[in-house]
Amino acid sequence: MKRTNVDTNQVEMEDKVVEIKRVTKVVKGGRTMRISALVVVGDKKGHVGVGLGKAAEVPEAIRKAKEDAMKHMVTLPIDDNGSVPHDFIGEYGSAEILLKRASQGTGIIAGGPARIVLELAGYKNIRTKSLGSNNKRNVVLATLAGLGELKTPEQVAALRGISVSDL
């Protein structure tokens, strides 16, 4: 996964909350309740980031998650018809997600957590299938891991030392 220094002040970033859950910690005096938020941030032009924030209040947890997502932005390859350059399986923990190329007009065919990442990344035509775990955090991170491992034809040609036309 290639991290980039995206100047988030100049680019209009969109964010979506994937999950908000209440977590507890058992201490001597009883239970302490806290909020955990998972947020995806993207500019719909090939830059996307995922962040996790925890706090006592919901708005504070979302703000922290947004800041964390901005710090962990990655640049993703998008081909001419708004799809991925090739098919790939992304893995994180026990979650796996199959990312498949799609022709023009297909749209985004994906489940909830993966759909949010793909929309904010800027993909227009892609098919996915979530395999294994359906934990939202792991599915989001598996999607991001799979997208981060994709290579453009130019990158593959450069690695092999040949021209793109010879591929």
Overall average pLDDT of the 75-85 stretch: 90
Q: What percent of the chain has pLDDT over 70?
A: 94
- 3 pLDDT band, cuts 50/70/90, is low
pTM of the entire structure? 0.88
Rounded Cα–Cα distance for residues 96 and 94 (Å): 7
DSSP symbols for 31-82: EEEEEEEEEEEE-SSSEEEEEEEEESSHHHHHHHHHHHHHHTEEE----TTS
The correct answer on CATH 3.30.230.10 for the domain covering 77-151 is: yes
Q: What is the pLDDT of residues 110-132, one digit of tens each?
A: 988 999 999 999 999 999 999 99
Contacts of 97-100 with CB under 8 Å at 24 or more apart are 97/128, 97/129, 97/130, 97/131, 97/139, 97/142, 97/143, 97/146, 98/128, 98/129, 98/130, 98/131, 99/126, 99/127, 99/128, 99/143, 99/146, 99/147, 99/150, 100/126, 100/127, 100/128, 100/129
Structure tokens at 150: 């994709």
Token code pair at residue 76 = 């993703």
| Residue 89 backbone zone (phi > 0: left; psi -120 to 50: alpha; other: beta) | beta
Supply the pLDDT for residue 2.
55
Q: Can you tell me the distance from the alpha carbon of 9 to that of 16, in angstroms, rounded to the nearest whole number?
A: 18
Its CATH class, for the domain covering 14-74, is: alpha beta
Domain locations along the chain: 14-74, 77-151
For the chain, the average pLDDT equals 90
CB-CB contact of 99 with 87 (8 Å): yes
pLDDT at 1 (0 to 100):
55
pLDDT in tens, 31-71: 999 999 999 999 999 999 999 999 999 999 999 999 999 99
Mean pLDDT of 81-109: 92
User: Tokens in use for 137?
Assistant: 């955090």
Classify residue 130 by its DSSP letter: E
137-148 pLDDT, tens digit each: 999 999 999 999
